Chain A
Amino acid sequence: MKEIIVVAEHRRGELRDVTWEMLSKGRDLSESLGGELSVALLGKDVKNMAEALKPKANRVLLIEDHRLEFYNSESYEKVLTQLITERKPLLTMIGHTATGMDFAPSLAAHLKIPLATDCIGIEPKDETFALTRQIYGGKINAAVSFLKPSPQYMVTVRAGAFPAVEKPPLSGEIVSLPSPLTDEGLARRFLEYVEAAAGEVDITQADILIAIGRGIKDAENIPMVKELADSVGGVLACSRPVVDKKWLPKGCQVGTSGKTVKPKVYIAIGISGAFQHVAGMKGSGTIIAINKDPKAPIFGVAQYGIVADLFKIVPVIKDKIKELKK
């Protein structure tokens, strides 16, 4: 039997979206291959999650252990090594997330299973899989294949790449499996979760967000955009590079590792539109993008686009708005 195993991702008692997305894609793949879909769930007291996963797969492979209360790469590797060695799934799907990026590469290397990371396309092809990935920060797509035929493959899947589509429920059975973990000490230990410091302004509450990215070039150029934001009662936000350079606090960051926002209007200034940023703002009511590169991916998600040098166009917009508001 061709089995596909999706490794469920959860944190602080909640299954993460990428799990449902992988199950949806995994279902399509298993159906077209005439195989079966399983979901591996590792945790402590997670029967409620197992119940929620049941209709999405042919079986839930449940491994409960008090040592799995918090994610740990070493524990995950031990449990999944045993599981994959015993079941020999054709394909193992793991999220390309902070968690999946942390254990999939070492697990695959340990098991000598070929791995393709950060996939946005996965299709069966001649007993193997044809994959799509993005390179150069999402500016280019790459069609990729596994080099050699293998009895088993592994992929990490980009969050948001596949929609979680509602499908007729499956009668998944819960199969409880013994945990291979012991009290033997681990070289890496979980200590705690900490929240990033909250900013002065809550960007998730704003109706209008004016966001800046790498294109702003220097902290000195930020007041110009702040003035524009103030003139329309908007709030200043940004993409990752601006926070990395310490020009704005972490609380202003929109994207996967920052905040998810849904303002009425989102103006992206000098933001190319890497998927990590887009994931945090694509739900905005109306998106206006200003970028000098007409091929910038941000124009694919925006409703309105302006191809221009931001240093030339932003002052004009700012002055015009001030004039019109008088």
Chain B
Amino acid sequence: MNIIVCIKRVPDTADADISIDKSGKDIDKSGLAFDLNEWDNYAIEEAIQLKEKLGGTVTVFSLGGEDSNESLRKCLAMGADEALRLFDPAFVDGDGYATAKVLAEAIRTRPYDLILTGTQAEDDGYGQVGVVMAEMLGIPHVSIVNRIEVQDKKVKAHRELEGGLEEVVEVDLPALLTIQTGINEPRYVSIMGIRKVAKKEIKALGASDLNLKPEEVGLSGSNIQLEKVFLPPVGEGAEMLEGKPEEIAQKVFDILKDKGGVA
């Protein structure tokens, strides 16, 4: 089973206090930690578990500058066999569609049975790169997958729907699956593990290597462009409970008594 996984390095904004940068088109990323996109972490783990069970190879692709090597190396440390980085000045500012085009061209000529991507990225949240890639490669896809069972030349996959419902489908290989968080328990990568793969070559490919014209990729190859970013309107907002911890605790108890019927 030869598996390709597409990953992205993103800023970790879940717990961060973020602000808008001077351009007004993005957040100020200077103080932020970066890591592998959460959905992709589950995708690479799933690929490695399948490889451990069924044999074969895991190849990882990422579109991004040299910084992305850090995330690719993490994937190698987790057990991927090969990592490739796709970068070209022409790729910059591409939307989900333009990103899918670059990845599809890089993957097209390689042998694979299965392609895994995350369902979406933590930063731009398009939720479309995997599904568009499948269309470009002419293979079937299943999105938002939270369980995989490989059978003979096909995969049985559970899709996560709303309200705790799942849809079970089977799909012929080769196929592309977009992976939902929670499908597995991603392994921990130690500093030692990263060091072991520090010398492994990560090949970089540009637009000309992939026979892509600059106008087909990046911003000019995109469907949409970002005009500006702003903080979401907060609406009425909450009444803030302030004071000493004991005073706040008293107020919480009063609310529970008043609104929740706690005696």
Interface residues of A (CB under 8 A from B): 11, 16, 71-74, 96-99, 101-106, 108-110, 114-118, 131, 133-147, 187-196, 207-208, 214-215, 232-234, 240-241, 243-246, 250-251, 253, 256-260, 263-265, 267, 272, 285-289, 293, 295, 297, 299-308, 312-313, 316-317, 319-321, 324-325
Q: With the chains together, A134 CA to B131 CA distance in Å?
A: 20
Bound CA–CA A72/B261 (angstroms): 47
Partner of B232, one of A138, A288, A313: A138
CA distance A96 to B248 in the complex (A): 39
Known interface pairs A106-B135, A141-B229, A286-B260; A135-B123 also in contact (CB < 8 Å): yes
| CB-based A-B contact count at 8 angstroms | 291
Query: With A73-B141, A240-B181 given, is the CB distance from A285 to B170 under 8 Å?
Result: no
Known: A136-B27, A264-B261. A143 touches B228 (CB 8 A): yes
The answer to whether B181 touches A244, judged by C-beta atoms less than 8 angstroms apart, is yes
Which residues of the partner chain A approach B229 to less than 8 Å between Cβ atoms?
135, 140-143
Say whether B67 faces chain A, with CB atoms less than 8 Å apart. Answer: no
**Considering the chains assembled together, what is the distance between the CA atoms of A191 and B165 in angstroms?**
14
CB distance from B77 to the nearest CB of A (A): 21
Q: Which residues of B contact A139 (CB under 8 A)?
A: 13, 18, 232
Complex A-B: 14 CB contacts under 8 Å: A98-B143, A109-B135, A114-B97, A115-B224, A135-B229, A140-B20, A147-B222, A187-B171, A192-B167, A194-B166, A244-B181, A251-B164, A257-B162, A285-B260
A-contact 0/1 string along B185-196, CB 8 Å cutoff: 100000000000
Chain A contact surface mostly:
mixed
* A320 near B240: Cβ-Cβ < 8 Å: no
Which residues of B in the span 234-253 have a Cβ within 8 Å of any Cβ on A?
Answer: 234-241, 245-246, 248-253
A208 x B124 contact (CB < 8 A): no
Contact partner, A145, options B97, B124, B224, Cβ 8 Å? B224
Cβ–Cβ contact B131 & A106, under 8 A: yes
Minimum CB–CB distance from B119 to chain A (whole Å) comes to 8
Partner of B135, one of A98, A105, A145: A105
In the assembly, what is the distance between CA of A8 and CA of B225, in Å?
28
Cβ contact within 8 Å between A189 and B169: yes
Residues of B close to A259: CB separation below 8 A: 163-164
In the complex formed, the residue of B with least CB distance to A74 is: B140
B134, B225, B259: the one within 8 Å of A264 (CB): B259
Are B175 and A187 closer than 8 Å at their CB atoms? yes
Question: Given A189-B170, A286-B260, are A313 and B222 neighbors across the interface (CB < 8 Å)?
Answer: no
Known contacts A196-B165, A299-B234, A317-B248; is-contact A143 B175 (Cβ 8 Å): no
For residue A194, which residues in chain B have a CB less than 8 angstroms away from its CB? Answer: 158, 165-166, 168
How far, in Å, is B218 (CB) from chain A's closest CB? 11
* Contact B128–A105 (Cβ < 8 Å): yes
Give A104 to B245 CA distance when docked, in angstroms: 49
Do A109 and B97 form a contact, CB below 8 Å, given A240-B181, A260-B163?
yes
**Given A102-B141, A140-B27, A246-B182, 12 additional A-B pairs, CB 8 A:** A109-B97, A109-B135, A115-B97, A135-B124, A139-B13, A141-B232, A143-B226, A188-B140, A188-B170, A240-B182, A243-B182, A320-B246
0/1 string, B4-42, CB within 8 A of A gives 1: 000000010111011010000001000000000000000
Decide yes or no: A324 and B163 within 8 Å by CB, A240-B181, A308-B248 being known contacts. no
Instruction: Please name all residues of chain B whose beta carbon is closer than 8 Å to the beta carbon of A71 when the two chains form the complex.
Output: 167
Contact of B226 among A144, A257, A285 (CB under 8 A): A144
The answer on a CB contact under 8 Å between B255 and A265 is yes
Judge if B54 is at the interface, Cβ distance under 8 Å: no
B137-162 interface code vs A (CB 8 A; 1 in, 0 out):
00111111000000000001011111
The reply to whether the CB of B219 lies closer than 8 angstroms to some CB of chain A is: yes
Contact, CB under 8 Å: B158 / A313:
no
Do the beta carbons of A110 and B249 come within 8 Å of each other? no
Asked, given contacts A109-B132, A286-B260, whether A147 binds B224 with beta carbons under 8 Å apart, the answer is yes
Chain B positions within 8 Å of A115 at CB level: 97, 128, 223-224
Q: Which residue of A lies closest to B128 (CB)?
A: A105
Contact with A along B72-97 (1 / 0, CB 8 A): 00000000000000000000000011
